[in-house]
Amino acid sequence: MTARNAALLAAAALAMAAGAAQAEEPAIHGELEVEVRYHDVVDTDVVGNDTSDLFTETSAAFEIDWAPWLRTEFGVNFEPVEDLDPDEDRAFEDHGLFLETAKIIIDLDPVELYAGKFTVNFGFDPHIFPGTFGEEPAEEVEVTERVGVGASLAIDGGPLGAIEIGASLFALDTTDLSNSWITNRGRTDVNAGGNGNTEDLANYNLSLDVYDIFEVKGAGLRLAFMHQDAGIGDVEDQDAFMVGAYWDAQIAEEWSLYPIIQVAHSDGALGFGEASSPNAGLSETSASFDLGLYHGGWMAAVGAAQISQDDPVGGDVDIDLYKVSLGYTFDFGLGADVGYLWESEEVAGVTEDTEVFGVRLSYHLHFGEEHHH
């Protein structure tokens, strides 16, 4: 099956959803996440890295429940879609609106089938990492904007916990939906290459999620394996795996602790969501640990990460990240936090350090009602 056929399948399923809506009133619900961020590089050894950026990362997710067995999901993002120029100060520029998710889900409890545009169930969602810079380096591990089909199976694991087994076939989105509006980032082209940019569904992901593992409330585990074929200009296929765990632990009245760890490794390519293999012998390992402490509306977070890239042609790269942050969220959904990020990058025996100060204002809103499913 090609990615185009997967898109046609999703369109056909949407037509089914419209027919189902005639029999039952659809329910619409979702959430809106608005973030205004300011990142200021206060010290750097990297030429061209002396920048400041004031921007928004706004996302909206909508779900339409057409029937207890049928629903559609849509997700749109509004954020910068162009990189900062060297030594540039930028304020609310280069923002684009793009569709990140558009899929149809058929719920045949305990099996779910889906088709359309989606995020692969590989790395954890960067938004679940605590702190001002929680998404570093989780965004690099996330595999978004793929077109294809998938399925999941829910199992009662008894004392092991609630288990969900997933599988998907996909390709990087090269349809018109890969473009953005307001600022045009351009439609993704298969000739641009990159692992997974194959147009046919030759790429796949297998995942295992366990919730409330060993009956520990709030504790979870994910294991995932992903294969992406080489695109045009790439010389090797990619095989990657991920293991991650988290625990939302209530340690006292109004006190909770949230540790989360994620380790991902790639053979045959550098990167994950934007993987490429221009020469042979490439590999990358990304490991991160974050810890959030919550009391009432207060949040304090610390984190550390290490990224190692092995490249026999371009040279090995080792990156160490350290981050701290402190913030407060009001009961009505408005939050504010500040943070500091230290990054040390070693290339060919030369180390360059960068320090970034960050501020984040956020607002989170849920709306609508859903059918029970």
Q: Show the domains of the chain with their CATH numbers.
A: 3-368 (2.40.160.10)
- Tokens 């490794």 found at: 265
Q: Determine the distance from the C-alpha atom of residue 102 to the mean position of all C-alpha atoms in its chain, rounded to a whole number.
A: 15
pLDDT for res 14: 55
Note the pLDDT of residue 190: 95
Coil vs helix vs strand at 337: strand
pLDDT digits (tens, 9 = 90+) for 313-334: 989 999 999 999 999 999 999 9
| Residue 13 confidence (pLDDT) | 55
Amino acid 351: pLDDT: 96
User: Do 280 and 236 form a contact (C-beta atoms < 8 A)?
Assistant: yes
Residues 6+ apart with CB under 8 A from 332: none
**Distance of alpha carbon 124 from alpha carbon 117, whole angstroms:** 18
In the chain, the largest separation of any two C-alpha atoms, in whole Å, equals: 67
Asked if 271 and 236 count as a contact pair (C-beta separation under 8 A), the reply is no
**So what's the pLDDT on residue 369?**
74
Under 8 Å between Cβ of 182 and 97: yes
Q: Return the pLDDT at 4.
A: 60
Indicate the SS3 state at residue 182.
coil
Cβ atoms within 10 Å of 296's Cβ, excluding its own: 10
| Residue whose C-alpha is closest to residue 126's, from 214, 59, 213 | 59
Tokens 């504790």 found at: 219
pTM of the model: 0.92
Contact 174, 189 (CB under 8 A): yes
Two tokens, residue 212: 């409330």
- Cα–Cα distance, 71 to 64 (Å, whole number): 5
pLDDT of residue 371: 58
Residue ranges of the chain whose pLDDT lies below 70: 1-24, 370-373
User: For residue 11, what pLDDT is reported?
Assistant: 54
Contacts of 132 (CB under 8 A, 6+ apart): 301, 323, 325, 327, 337, 338, 339, 341, 358, 359, 360
CB contact at 8 A, 231 and 33: no
DSSP state of 11: H
**Environment class of 216 (CB within 10 Å of its CB; exposed 0-12, middle 13-18, buried 19+):** exposed
Element holding 181 (H helix, E strand)? none
* DSSP conformation class of 124: P
* Cα 310 from Cα 326, distance rounded (Å): 35
